[in-house]
Structure 1
Amino acid sequence: MVQTAPETTSEKVVGASTDFADLSRTIKQAGLLDRRVGHYAVRVTLTLAAFAAAWALFGVLGDTWWQVGTAALLAVAGTHVAFIGHDAGHKQIFRGRRANDAVGLLHGALVGIGYGWWVGKHSRHHANPNHEDDDPDLDLPILAFSERQGRSRRGLARWTSSHQAFLFLPLLLLEGFNLHWSSVLAVWHGQTKRRGLEAALLVAHTAAYLGAVFFVLSPGRAVVFIAVHQGLWGLYMGLSFAPNHKGMPTTTGDDGWDFLRKQVLTSRNVRGSRWVDFALGGLNYQIEHHLFPNMPRPSLRRAQPVVQAFCADRGIAYAQTGLLSSYRDVLRHLHEVGAPLRAARG
Structure 2
Amino acid sequence: MSVTAETAVETVAGETAGSTGGRAVGGDFGPLVRQVRAAGLLERRRGYYARAAAGNVAATVGLWAAVWWWGASWWVLALAVPMALVSGRTGFLGHDSGHRQIAASHRVNRALGLVLGNLLLGMGRGWWNDKHNRHHANPNHVGKDPDVGEGVLAWTHEQAARSRGALRWVQRHQAALFFPLLLLEGFNLKVGSLRFLRGRPRREQLLEGGLLTAHMVGYVGLVFTLLSPGKAVAFMLLHHGLFGLHLGSVFAPNHKGMAMPGAEDRWDHMRRQVLTSRNVRGGVVVDWLMGGLNYQIEHHLFPGMPRCNLRRARPLVREHCAAVGLPYTETGLVESYRLALGHLHEAGAPLRK
Alignment match, 1:203 = 213
Root-mean-square deviation over aligned CA pairs: 1.8
Q: Partners in 1 of 2:287 and 2:267 — Cα distance?
A: 29
1:145 is aligned to 2:144? no
Alignment match, 1:262 = 272
Contact 1:51-1:74 within 8 A present in 2 as well: yes
Q: 1:97 aligns with which of 106, 111, 118?
A: 106
Contact 1:145-1:247 within 8 A present in 2 as well: no
Alignment match, 1:240 = 250
For 1:1-346, what aligned pairs fall within 5 Å after superposition? Answer: 15-108=24-117, 109-190=119-200, 194-343=204-353
Q: Deviations over 1:76-131 (max 9, x none)?
A: 11010110000111011111211111222111121111112111111111001001
Q: Deviations over 1:158-214 (max 9, x none)?
A: 221111001100000000000011111112332797321111111110001111112
Q: Partners in 2 of 1:318 and 1:62 — Cα distance?
A: 49
5+ long unaligned stretches in structure 2: 1-15
Contact 1:244-1:267 within 8 A present in 2 as well: yes
Cα 1:197/1:212, change in 2 over 3 Å: same
Q: Partners in 2 of 1:72 and 1:215 — Cα distance?
A: 20
Contact 1:186-1:192 within 8 A present in 2 as well: no
Cα 1:192/1:131, change in 2 over 3 Å: farther
Instruction: Supply the AA of the counterpart residue of 2:153.
Output: L
- 1:329 is displaced (CA, Å) by 1.1
Contact 2:152-2:167 within 8 A present in 1 as well: yes
Q: Partners in 2 of 1:216 and 1:267 — Cα distance?
A: 43
Q: Partners in 2 of 1:155 and 1:52 — Cα distance?
A: 45
Q: Partners in 1 of 2:303 and 2:143 — Cα distance?
A: 22
Q: Partners in 2 of 1:224 and 1:61 — Cα distance?
A: 15
Cα 1:193/1:267, change in 2 over 3 Å: farther
5+ long unaligned stretches in structure 1: 1-9
- 1:215 is displaced (CA, Å) by 2.1
TM-score, scaled to structure 2: 0.91
Alignment match, 2:3 = none
Q: Deviations over 1:205-260 (max 9, x none)?
A: 00011111122222222211111111000000100110111111212324211110
Contact 1:248-1:266 within 8 A present in 2 as well: yes
Contact 1:133-1:252 within 8 A present in 2 as well: no
Contact 1:68-1:228 within 8 A present in 2 as well: yes
Aligned-residue sequence identity (percent) comes to 50
Instruction: Supply the AA of the counterpart residue of 2:196.
Output: A
Instruction: Supply the AA of the counterpart residue of 2:261.
Output: T
Which 4+ stretches in 1 moved above 4 angstroms?
10-14
TM-score, scaled to structure 1: 0.92
Q: Partners in 2 of 1:249 and 1:150 — Cα distance?
A: 18
